Chains A and B, each alone.
Chain A
């Protein structure tokens, strides 16, 4: 296989930051929505899910990147899926060993990391064409971006729906929890609200640059 010109690109801070901000998997690319909505009813769950996904992302990217020249094109997807499923099984058992309560709270969503499009997408679009360091840094960025998004949702939902943050009561006794926020509809509403906020920020920025430079929109 001919060396990809991209593989020679130096690893910069951008490789990491792309995933966190500019190409944030959840807010910008709208990938991997299922766990984002399902397990963000508390901050603790969100953190656990973010860490688990990042771990799988890192390990599978590293392995795919190492094996990228040995895997024939025709069977690559099957190979990636087996690799990802392996690491997910590992995470599944490790979480059971750490805490059963956490395991029960996350439910089937740990095993469903397998079908999270972010991971397969990274393996296919990045790790299979880049060296191991670049792949690692890139997937670390993606993992951080994903965890950040989970945290954004989790904190808002726990705060409004339960009046707590990480189980610590924030508001006084008189606070009436807005239960709908930790129920399924709340997930949709909060994610929708975050997307609205980002769209508004983007629009405001676009308008500001337009005014400043007198260049018409892209």
Chain B
């Protein structure tokens, strides 16, 4: 779609339609791994990296499938390729950069079943993005995910010190917090419109 500039695609994926707070993708890690600020930071980076890799893979596969008119196999191919891409990334990282692997390694298997990754691949297909647009879209989505999870972790670290009724401790409170965060992000709508 030619009327979407690269800058807008980035802003859209990152802030206006944040994957976590407005599309509800990747809620599991968002609630599960946002207890501590530095783990959240690593999780965000690992996810952003996998998003980039799988977005490129998905673009290549889709081009191939469209070529052979096999669109109905798209979902099966996407999920298989994303899972293997993550494994591949894990192995390569282990071999060439053990330090990075120690920081991100434990999160990589978790990310395979993160719906944000498959969601990204599907959305870029539905929107018929070109190669460059897909690239920018995945970068924006990764940044947006990191932003959301880091913000959430910061809030939760503060909240751990607050006195709240025992009933509301745990998931219920986290969800309310996420709701407030999402409300805040709604204010970005209309940006650049």
- Chain B 156-193: CB-based contact to A (< 8 A → 1; otherwise 0): 00000000001110111111101110110010000000
Number of interface residues of A (CB under 8 A): 40
Q: Is A200 in contact with B24, judged by CB distance below 8 angstroms?
A: no
Query: Which of A31, A34, A199 has the most chain B CB atoms closer than 10 A to its own CB?
Result: A34
Of A33, A92, A185, which contacts B180 at CB under 8 A? A185
Listed stretches A9-17, A62-70, A83-91, A168-176; interface member: A83-91
Number of interface residues of B (CB under 8 A): 41
Q: Is B115 in contact with A188, judged by CB distance below 8 angstroms?
A: no
Of A85, A115, A189, A203, which contacts B167 at CB under 8 A? A203
Q: Count A-B contacts at CB 8 Å.
A: 109
Q: Is B72 in contact with A112, judged by CB distance below 8 angstroms?
A: no
* B11 touches A (CB below 8 Å): no
* A166 touches B (CB below 8 Å): no
Q: Is B119 in contact with A196, judged by CB distance below 8 angstroms?
A: no
Q: Is B76 in contact with A89, judged by CB distance below 8 angstroms?
A: yes
Query: Which of A88, A112, A184, A191 has the most chain B CB atoms closer than 10 A to its own CB?
Result: A184
The 10 closest A-B pairs by CB, nearest first: A188-B179, A192-B175, A195-B172, A38-B24, A33-B27, A37-B24, A185-B182, A185-B183, A192-B176, A85-B76
Interface residues of B (CB under 8 A from A): 21-28, 31, 72-73, 75-76, 79-80, 83, 113-115, 117-119, 122-123, 126, 166-168, 170-176, 178-180, 182-183, 186
